[in-house]
């Protein structure tokens, strides 16, 4: 039973890989998608940091403290701007070959097939 399930998942994974490979090299696709996942996670962390800094700013007791918070916010925004530029660039590489929604769907299916095989 387990062997049949493994074989079925393996075949499904091969089908997904073939579908991706028909549009672009599999390794390039996976590398881009993994980088996008990392960058999106980083953006989430930056948003949380900005929310925390907002609370720190409100509770700051001196102009110097508020200025330090403003500087930190500015640095995070600058880093975030560069991150979003990279996300747009990577998305544009994908979009040249398939829709972003389709790429997301294929990547999710691929990840599921890999995790199911483990």
H or E segment to which residue 21 belongs: helix 2-21
User: Strand, coil or helix: what is 111?
Assistant: helix
Phi first, then psi, for residue 38 (nearest 5°) are: -60, -45
Report the candidate in 38, 69, 64, 67 with the shortest Cα–Cα distance to residue 52.
69
Domain containing residue 44 = 2-117
Q: Total domain count for the chain?
A: 1
Condensed to tens digits (0 to 9), the pLDDT of residues 23-74 reads 999 999 999 999 999 999 999 999 999 999 999 999 999 999 999 999 999 9
User: Strand, coil or helix: what is 22?
Assistant: coil
Q: Which range among 11-15, 31-35, 37-41, 90-94 shows the weakest confidence by mean pLDDT?
A: 11-15
Q: pTM to 2 decimals?
A: 0.82
Is the pLDDT higher at 11 or at 101?
A: 101
Q: Kindly tell me if the per-residue pLDDT of 113 is higher than 90.
A: no
Burial class (CB in 10 A: 0-12, 13-18, 19+), 19: middle
């Amino acid at each position: 039973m387990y062997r049949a399930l493994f074989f079925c998942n393996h075949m499904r994974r091969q089908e997904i890989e073939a579908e991706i490979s028909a549009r672009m090299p599999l390794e390039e696709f996976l590398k881009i998608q993994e980088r996008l996942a990392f960058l999106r996670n980083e953006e989430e962390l930056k948003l949380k940091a900005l929310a925390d800094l907002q609370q720190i700013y409100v509770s700051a007791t001196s102009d110097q403290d508020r200025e330090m918070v403003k500087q930190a916010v500015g640095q995070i925004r600058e880093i975030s701007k560069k991150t979003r530029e990279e996300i747009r660039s990577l998305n544009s590489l994908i979009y040249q070959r398939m829709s972003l929604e389709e790429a997301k769907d294929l990547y999710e299916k691929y990840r599921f097939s890999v995790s199911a095989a483990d």
